[in-house]
Amino acid sequence: MLFCAGEPPCRLLGRTGIWLRAEAPGELTLGEMKRCMAIIEDGGTVSLRTMKRDLPRSQMLAIARYRTEIVAVGAIKPVRKDHAAAIAAKSRYSFPADTPELGYVAIDAVHQGHGLSHKITRILLSRHTGQLFATTDSPRMKENSRGCRVLPRRKRMGR
């Protein structure tokens, strides 16, 4: 793995030719933002209207590029106090309403199955200070705790 200058702003993942980088939404072109939205839309797990509103307002994005094409994305979303409070109530786990959510992790179909989602998540976590929360509807993901601090069953997120 190669690192560019600074606190790893971009990493070349082995010999895959994939570059991973934490970026502010404002660093993306309109075309790149639309590409991220298309990958997330293809993932099929989120409200499109909310995603199109919130992705450009994210606190931070993790972007993976193969050559010049974006192939994976993840985000630390903008704070949504009502949403966070609703998730805290639903999960019966107390956390501050100004806690940001990590989400919109989506990998282009061609590049799935190579651990990119772990790397996207890791770079977001490494660049963020403080707590985050995340939710999923996927039973498989709920059971997949590798590298995560999973809440006790009675306190897990309901989604």
Ligand X SMILES: CC(C)(COP(=O)(O)OP(=O)(O)OC[C@H]1O[C@@H](n2cnc3c(N)ncnc32)[C@H](O)[C@@H]1OP(=O)(O)O)[C@@H](O)C(=O)NCCC(=O)NCCS
Q: What are phi and psi of 143, to 5 degrees?
A: -85, -15
Q: Is residue 116 a contact point for ligand X (CB under 6 A)? A: yes
Residue from 113, 130, 152, 154 touching ligand X (CB under 6 A): that is 113
Q: Is residue 140 a contact point for ligand X (CB under 6 A)? A: yes
Q: Is residue 138 a contact point for ligand X (CB under 6 A)? A: yes
Residue with tokens 């839309």: 41
Residues 6+ away with beta carbon under 8 Å from 3: 10, 11
CA atoms within 13 A on the CB side of 3: 6
Q: Is residue 141 a contact point for ligand X (CB under 6 A)? A: yes
Given phi > 0 = left and psi -120 to 50 = alpha, else beta, which region is 19?
beta
- Least CB distance to ligand X at residue 143 (A): 9
Q: Is residue 144 a contact point for ligand X (CB under 6 A)? A: yes
Q: Which of residues 87-106 bind ligand X (CB under 6 A)?
A: 105-106
Q: Is residue 50 a contact point for ligand X (CB under 6 A)? A: no
